[in-house]
Structures are given as structure tokens and as C-alpha cells.
Amino acid sequence: MGTEANPQQLHVDTYLVASGRPGRSPGASVNVPVELTSTYAADGAVNYARSGNPTWNAFEEALGGLEGGRALVHASGMGAISAALSLVPARGTVLAPDTTYNGTGDLLDAHEQAGGTVVRVHATDTAGFLAALESADLLWLESPTNPLMDVTELDVVLARSRELGVTSVVDNTLSTPLLCRPLSLGADVVVHSVTKYLSGHSDVVLGATVVGDTERGREIGERLRRHRTLHGAIAGPMEVFLALRGLRTLAVRFERASASAAELARRLEGHPSVARVRYPGSGAILSIDVAGDADAAERVCAATRLWLHSTSLGGVESQLERRRRHPSESREVPANLLRLSVGIEHVDDLWADLDRALAAV
């Protein structure tokens, strides 16, 4: 790529617009093209498209700069998570929060069923993490956790993990690099469901891993790249093109959605149909425990007209879901909890729809 964008010299919103572009030669395209090919003429940098693609390179350059490392794009967030979990030995010990994104939770259960060990600590129990790190092979963190919105002291836990040489992974999907850059806190690997905020328009399923630009980071990055190539969970160039287009507006979307989330959290506090608001103080996701049972929470989802009742998050459209409707969701998640992903609509329209739907409790 011939971009001149340097994340060290630009504000992040400028970098998002400028990075991952073709060089500025006369007549050059402003966007990297969607390169549809399965193979390349011999003796070039890449010979087969399961190993690389110029459209991937542009996205990887942009995301790598954002996180302060080197990125790899994967077929989905789960593809990225699977690659990161391949870093733990088959019978090794993973230390993780007791509630994570449920797909990750299912893979951790599978690790245990295959003879490995998983030590689970409450996300806010810093002392518990520090003690359990002594015998861990891999530390898995998510902050805030999905959907309980618990915040782990990443800096403290990651610093100790680094001291002990324990490989650490942070799922940064909910925070995005705008709120948190885990590599700068000592993480070895960042994973993303690019499907969510980075793409931002609910039209793409994609994932990414990012490692530090250090000798250790490059060594881990090569293992992740090998996993991607050999297991074959690779991204389609069209999806990557769309993700890079979405990334251009990440700062504007996230700023707007975060401001609305803060305002909705404030208005929901003390609402007669809401027993508890779980909002970590930043970001665009919050969860609420409705003042009623699971059926009451389902009625709220069915009653919204603007909020979309659906299972994803991070799109321009606001979405809500009762997470326990998924049998694999952690039992730590209350049955009456609704996760709200705040989009970029006008906050007063969002409030009017939610307030009216909450009457269904």
C-alpha cells in the first residue's frame, strides 16, 4: 500500500479516513479495488488467495495502525477467536472471565471437553486473576464483558501476565480501538468481531486478530497466519472492502452512538419497568434487567418498532435482545436481561420507542 497515513502523527478520526488507501500516483483509484482472484502468476509475493489478497492488505494496514500493531483479517469474529485459542496447548490452562461472549464460552467448554483446563474468574475480581495467572498458559479477557458489561482492570492483569510470560488475548469488539488499545497495555493479541462496530452497517460478517510489532508479536502473528491459511477460515474480498468502507466513519458513528447510550442509561435509571441498568460509563452498549421475568423482557422486544429485535450489535441501527433466549448463554446472565446496542438514530426517537415498549413489562 502506498498510503502516507501515519497513526502516530494524525488524530484517530483522520487516520480512519486516510489509512489503507492506494498510493497517490496520477490517475490512481482513491479506494483499494475488490480483487477477485483465487491465484496469482508465480514468483510474486503471494501465489494463492488463501494466503493473501491486496484488498485484505488495505484493511489490515488500517486496523493494524489503529490498534498499534499488525492485523490479520479472518472470516468472522469466531474465526479470529478460534485462531487465537489455537495458541493454547491442547491440554493447557486458559484463564478467562466467568462470563464472556457465548461463542467464546462454547469454545472454552470444548477445550475442557477435549482434556484442557479452563479457570474462570469473575471479570471484576482482579486479585482472582492475579492469583490464577501463575498456573495459566493463556489469559482471555473481554472488557467490558458481553452482555453483563463488567469491566476488568486490564492494565493490572495484562501487566502481570506479561511479567509471567503468559500469552494474553483481549476481545476488543465492544470497546473498539477508540476506547481501548490492549496492545499498549501489554496484551499479545487483540481479537475483533469486525462484523460489529468496525464495519458498522450490519452487512458483513468478518473478524480480525492484531499482534504487536515486536519480535514476540511477529512470532505469534506467524502462528495466527498459519492457522488462518491451513484451517481456511478466510475472508471474502468483498466483505473486506465493505469493512474498510465502514471503518472510515467509525469515529463519527461511535461518538454519536456512545453519546446516545450515555443519555439512555441516564433516562433508564429509575424507570419503573427497569430493575437495573448495566452501563460501564462509556461505549455504545448497555444492558438492563427489566422489572419482570423473561416473558416480560420478551414482550419488550416484541413491542419496539424502531429498535430492531435481533442478535447482533454495533450497527447504525439500534438493536436489542434478551440474551438468555440462546440456550448456550451463561447462567450468570439474568433471564430478564436485555442487551441494548445503541445506533445513530436521534436519541429522542430511540427513547420514545423504548419507553413505550417498556410499558409491556
Ligand X SMILES: Cc1ncc(COP(=O)(O)O)c(C=O)c1O
Residues that bind ligand X (CB under 6 A): 76-78, 101, 103, 146, 171, 173-174, 193, 195, 205, 207
With a CB cutoff of 8 Å and minimum separation 6, the contacts of 187 are 141, 154, 158, 168, 169, 170
Smallest separation, CB 35 to ligand X (Å): 22
Nearer to ligand X, 55 or 195 (CB): 195
Phi, psi torsion values for 80, nearest 5 degrees:
-65, -40
The distance of closest approach from Cβ of residue 169 to ligand X in the complex, given in angstroms and rounded to an integer, is 11
Q: Which is nearer to ligand X, 74 or 248 (CB)?
A: 74
Shortest distance, position 110 Cβ to ligand X, whole Å: 15
Give the residue numbers annotated as catalytic, written as ranges. 50, 101, 171, 196
Distance CA 297, CA 287 (A): 12
Neighbouring residues of 211: CB distance < 8 A, sequence distance ≥ 6: 69, 70, 183, 188, 189, 190, 217, 218, 220, 221, 224
Name the minimum Å distance from CB 192 to ligand X: 8
**What is the Cα–Cα distance from 70 to 204, expressed in whole angstroms?**
22
Place of cell 483465487: 38
Of 66 and 174, nearer to ligand X (C-beta) is 174
Chain position whose Cβ is nearest to ligand X: 77
> In this complex, which beta carbon is closest to ligand X, that of residue 174 or of residue 308?
174
Query: Is the bond preceding residue 144 a cis peptide, omega within 30 degrees?
Result: yes
Query: Residue 15 or residue 279: which is nearer to ligand X going by CB?
Result: 279
* Cis amide leading into 280 (omega within 30): no
DSSP state of 291: S
How far is C-alpha 332 from the chain's CA centre?
21
Distance CA 106, CA 89 (A): 18
C-alpha cell at 40: 496469482
Q: Judged by CB, which is closer to ligand X: 68, or 103?
A: 103
CB of 44 to ligand X, least distance (A): 30
| Shortest reach from residue 314's CB to ligand X, in Å | 8
Task: For 258, list phi and psi in degrees, rounded to 5.
Answer: -65, -40
User: Closer CB to ligand X, residue 242 or residue 360?
Assistant: 242
For residue 263, which phi and psi values (nearest 5 degrees)? -70, -40
Minimum gap (Å) between residue 8 Cβ and ligand X: 28
Q: Under the phi-then-psi rule, with left for phi > 0, alpha for psi from -120 to 50, and beta for the rest, what region is 122?
A: beta
